Structure 1
Amino acid sequence: MRSATIKDVAERAGVSLKTVSRVINNEPSVHARTREKVQREIDALGYQPDPSARSLRSTRAYAIGLVYDNPNAHYIINLQRGVLAACRSSGFGLQIHPCDSSSPKLADELRELVHRSRLAGLVLAPPMSEQPALIHALSAAKVPFIRIISAREDPADGSPCVYVDDRDAAYAITEHLIQLGHQRIGFLWGGREHRSSQERYQGYADALKDYGIALDRKLIVPGDYTFDDGFRGARKLLALKDRPSAIFGSNDEIAAGVLAAAHSDGINVPYELSIAGFEDSPFSKQSWPALTTARQATEDIARHAAQRLIGDLQREANGEPIDSRNEGFSPELVVRGSTAPRHSAPSGRGARRKPAT
């Protein structure tokens, strides 16, 4: 069967093609009853507007781009799902654009992407969303965008964003470990180009300070948001003479690498070593024991960001004021089997103890 067309919708609703177009574009000039009638026929026919064809027929663009650079595949998949859901509900197309966030020509690359692909705007994921020079260049070029950033509160810098309070969630994880009796808590960084890494580290450091625990630099290991860096970082920490009794990985991939390193050394988790991650990715649920983590609703965050961008584009096209309120998200602590009360001082690397009964 052929796909329904805009002409089919117009004929069944008894209205003009222009009226159907106005309903699809969410223009305010359509009477509520007419809008309801047209939408009913759109739903009945299963009509899906073609963003490319709409853009060719109009001076407006009906597709947006998602720009990212992140080694965490699960984060990227959830990011794509969220943006795609917003695009589908609004009749917009989506172009996914992975890139090198360290490229000195990134601003030129994104300007060319918008021009060549006739994109209405961009959703910028970290770390691009947190680069002031790039944001300035896109603003100067009048490229509409929205940023997903790590921040404790609305940055109020004039640009639209969705912000995530990584610091507060990292504080909650560290506090959870401290309240279990852990004093020596290792911390494994994610990529330093991501502000989320700094925010998660700061939450860790703030919790130690508030509980009167001295920050030990030997317990802090740089790295990236990968399983391999989690494994390597954990091996360094577990080789210490006075090794930590708990390790906080900046994301779940890192924490899963820590868990693998502990298993390879015959260390019982959580009896001898508590482990926590961040994000609540499949790694956290599929590990054994399952990982204590912070649930970050990446798909919802991305969907809200795309909805905000599309909404602003539509309001601007209709001559309406743009919404200046930015939305914030706070990841929530999820306690699972990888953390437990500290039983006794940890021994040296590879030393075994009586397993938990």
Structure 2
Amino acid sequence: MKKRAASLALVLSMILSFTCQAGAVDANSGDDGQQVSTYAALEASAQSGGLTKLGAVKYILLDCGMKTTQFPSGDSDYIAMAKSVGIADDKFDGSAACSLEELNTMANSTEAVNLRNAVKNGTPLFVDGVAQPIFPYTSGVPTEDGYSNDNSDIIRYSVYVETNYDTDGDGKLDLVKALVQLPRAAAEGKYKAAAIYDARPYITGCTDNGDDRKFTYKKDDLGYDLNSLYAQPNARQAEGEAGTMEAAAKAKADEWYYVSPYESGSWGDFYDYEDLDWYDYFLVRGYAVVEVGGLGTRGSEGLETCGADVETDAFKCVVEWLAKDSTRTA
């Protein structure tokens, strides 16, 4: 069934460019606790025997464009990252003195050049077939000042995908809500992000047994004709188009972070954020994540019929949207 509605692009054009040369000149970090203003100063420290391999690795990683916030556990994170991208080997001893030759070898290695270019260009980095955690992260949990994609390294927003059936009988094809998360670089069109798609009931929250839709699952309530699940009114008509960043500009945290009526009580409010942080491992490695609860779940229209053919068909409609069927979203 052909749909007519507005499109929201999840993935945009890929830009791959590996032209930046090695050779640091900007100040970032120095020897353990020592600030180094230029690469020349770092070389001097190495010549005098005052530079450790850990200090050299810290400088190189930060000079490649990574942020200190990407190393929350400190030294162990720097070492793990250096090994992961191939700047350091498994025998790396951070406390050992770093000679000038070793410093130049690490700083000008192919691995350092590739890291610097990937961070600069905002494109994923794969080493031995493994995606590297080079993208910075910002939580989707709002601070005291709220949440804004303007200040987030991970862009989050919702789309509403038109399905093939009107299961709640309101005369319109049901829309299902999809929560999208992706690195800012992907949202800005610097590369095409591979999407991890998680489709299952409850992932975006639950409703109150359909009471707000004027039908229930209560005992002896036979007022709903199950044949109505398959009603197919005309599709919506498109009123315009919007891009990823336009959708992100309108996003609010209460789309995914809200007080749960089932887990709150006299002890206070309990906030659900669905499975917002389940895929952080992949987000910092350049993947996009799309989570869909399906028909009748929080934020979606329709009747929740777990495992029914109409539910699985609705999940399929989101796959079609991801596959660039621009007529699927509203």
Structure number with higher helix proportion: 1
**Which structure's relative contact order is higher, taking Cα pairs within 8 Å and 6+ residues apart?**
2
TM-score, normalised with respect to structure 2 = 0.27
